[in-house]
Amino acid sequence: MSDSLNTTDIISLQKDDDFSGFLRVQKSDELKDRNGKTYFNLTLSDKTGAINAKVWDAGLLELPPQGSVIKIASSIVTEFKGNLQLRVNSFRVADDNDGYDLSMLVATSPETSEVMFEYLDEIIASIKNNTLHKIVSSVVDKVRDKLYYYPAAQMMHHVTHGGLLHHITSMLKVAEALAACYPNINRDLLLSGVIVHDLGKIHELASDTTGAPLGYTKDGMLFGHLLRGFSMIEKAADEAGILEDDEMYMLLQHMMVSHHGLIEHGSLRKPMFAEAEMLYFIDNLDARMNEFETIINQLSPGSFSERKPFLDNRSLYRPIFDEDKA
């Protein structure tokens, strides 16, 4: 067998292609088929996308850990229910001597972190309320270095280099547009909530500097980003000498603990005022649109995805628009 690697990007793969190369393990499960034989169900990724992979008859193999990189020596692209799938025949976990480039295995945000930070800093500078400006500036400055590369999630949305910053800046654009439509909304409060709402994820998730998520930290497992974000706001307010009963301070804290909207989705409280409710919807909208974009971009026009459990078990469809016919 040749040791050469074809290094084809996932987005370029077609049915019946042979593939060999390095891919990152986004998700890995050891399962049993109907005959009781062990197989691996993997989600593998590079910077262009992700693909489901199966390793059959894996009883004597070791399951590659989530976040690891594997070197595939032999595999073929198959199709299952209209979706491409990789049938891996031979692989091993890669090591430092393999010389792979991890940055080629992690997706990047559509804008550079420098461009996104320029916009974020403009928004922070525009916040007129003194309490909110002090808290938001302090919290962002404390995580600025990591915010350049951190992903927004382990698996679901904005899983890219700078993904968390991308999520925040995308939400800010939506928030600015909606605040202009609803005069009763306090712009400073809404934008402040958007900026800080997920910064606790920097403590909740582990990531390397390429933006590849490496699983949940002990802090993330024990507390989660809502509670950690609350404590970040609290510390910033204390350092700025802001009183505990300051109205804007308390409202921002409430937005942090309520931005998941529903108790069953992890919120400590349901949103109790308009800005908190709007934050919940903008957060969900931006995450959902990013999930749709990621999945649909991997489909051919006129095709459906496999069912996605995190999208209420729906299949997504890529419409055939005029530009697709050219």
SS3 readout for the chain: CCCCCCCCCHHHCCCCCECCEEEEEEEEEEEECCCCCEEEEEEEEECCEEEEEEECCCCCCCCCCCCCEEEEEEEEEEEECCEEEEEEEEEEECCHHHCCCHHHHCCECCCCHHHHHHHHHHHHHHCCCHHHHHHHHHHHHHHHHHHCCCCCCCCCCCCCECHHHHHHHHHHHHHHHHHHHCCCCCHHHHHHHHHHCCCCHHHHEEECCCCCEEEECHHHHHCHHHHHHHHHHHHHHHHCCCCCCCHHHHHHHHHHHHCCCCHHHCCCCCCCCHHHHHHHHHHHHHHHHHHHHHHHCCCCCCCECCCEHHHCCECCECCCCHHHHC
**Domain of 87?**
10-101
Tell me, yes or no, whether 304 lies in a domain: no
Whether residues 115 and 230 fall in one domain: yes
- pLDDT at position 303 is 86
pTM over 0.85: no
- What is the token pair recorded at 161? 């280099």
Whether residues 256 and 117 fall in one domain: yes
Tell me, yes or no, whether 298 lies in a domain: no
- pLDDT at position 92 is 94
Greatest CA separation found in the chain?
A: 70
> Secondary structure of the chain: what % helix, strand, coil (to 5)?
45, 20, 35
Mean pLDDT on 200-213: 87
**Direct distance between the N- and C-terminal alpha carbons of the chain, in angstroms, rounded to an integer:** 41
pLDDT band at 143; cut points 50, 70, 90: very high
In this predicted structure, the answer to whether residue 265 has a pLDDT above a threshold of 90 is no
Whether residues 145 and 186 fall in one domain: yes
Whether residues 83 and 134 fall in one domain: no
Tell me, yes or no, whether 56 lies in a domain: yes
Whether residues 72 and 130 fall in one domain: no
**Count of domains in the chain?**
2
pLDDT band at 6; cut points 50, 70, 90: low
Whether residues 53 and 67 fall in one domain: yes
Whether residues 169 and 247 fall in one domain: yes
Q: Give the domain CATH number at 16.
A: 2.40.50.140
- Answer yes or no: are the C-beta atoms of 301 and 326 closer than 8 Å: no
Comparing 273 with 268, the larger pLDDT belongs to 273
pLDDT band at 108; cut points 50, 70, 90: confident
In this predicted structure, the answer to whether residue 326 has a pLDDT above a threshold of 80 is no
Give percent above pLDDT 70 in the chain: 96
Tell me, yes or no, whether 276 lies in a domain: yes
Whether residues 84 and 218 fall in one domain: no
In this predicted structure, the answer to whether residue 19 has a pLDDT above a threshold of 90 is yes
Dump pLDDT digits (tens) for 61-92: 999 988 789 999 999 999 887 778 999 999 99
Comparing 306 with 54, the larger pLDDT belongs to 54
Burial string for 39-77 (b: 16+ CB within 10 Å, else e) reads: bbebbbbbbbbbbebbbeebeeeebbebbebbbbbebeb
In this predicted structure, the answer to whether residue 1 has a pLDDT above a threshold of 70 is no
Tell me, yes or no, whether 313 lies in a domain: no
Whether residues 121 and 157 fall in one domain: yes
- pLDDT at position 102 is 77
Mean pLDDT on 237-248: 95
Whether residues 90 and 132 fall in one domain: no
Mean pLDDT on 280-286: 96
Whether residues 245 and 115 fall in one domain: yes
Tell me, yes or no, whether 318 lies in a domain: no
Whether residues 219 and 202 fall in one domain: yes
pLDDT band at 322; cut points 50, 70, 90: low
In this predicted structure, the answer to whether residue 2 has a pLDDT above a threshold of 50 is no
- pLDDT at position 3 is 47
